[in-house]
Structure 1
């Protein structure tokens, strides 16, 4: 059994919102994403499949089609699918990436540090 304590996790300011890697191993990664009101992310793709569970607020996914999500909704985004998002209110989501690109949370955090250290410092929750 592995337990991850939310008060011990490191968060990172990214163009997609504040990402907090929660758990990662070779088969899956779990991330908390805080999406501020007014955020607009242009459509882009990720290599792996993603499951986005919106736990709070409302967002619009934009790409080949436009889909409005509200708290409690789930969206499955196959790897390679171009999708962006727009948020008119503070929102929060849990994202499951399958398979994971990382073998551990430390590896995930290191990747985020390397990508976003030029833009902002990590945020300790």
Structure 2
């Protein structure tokens, strides 16, 4: 799924990731925007999150991993991340993943690429 070009709002660049109806509760989808792989997660009817789609440990698409509650498991080595914070939760993860602000507008899920949420270093 490809994201549409975004609009700058202040220093934030919001892109349309997908339609709200394109992703079911408990699912994760992968999108690509200007060469960047992103994952969009639907936790409940009205709660969505977004992270980088590539695992920080090895080149694997997180969107192809096991997703439950607010945890995504890498399909390559089983490392897990909290999708709310990007924090690595277990071995072999040593570096967290980037998270992005998400909003719903006109029945679309939008991601802010210019407004990155803070990076986290794995401490666990």
TM exceeds 0.5? no
Name the structure where helix makes up a greater proportion of residues.
1
Name the structure where strand makes up a greater proportion of residues.
1
- TM normalised by structure 2 equals 0.31
- TM normalised by structure 1 equals 0.31
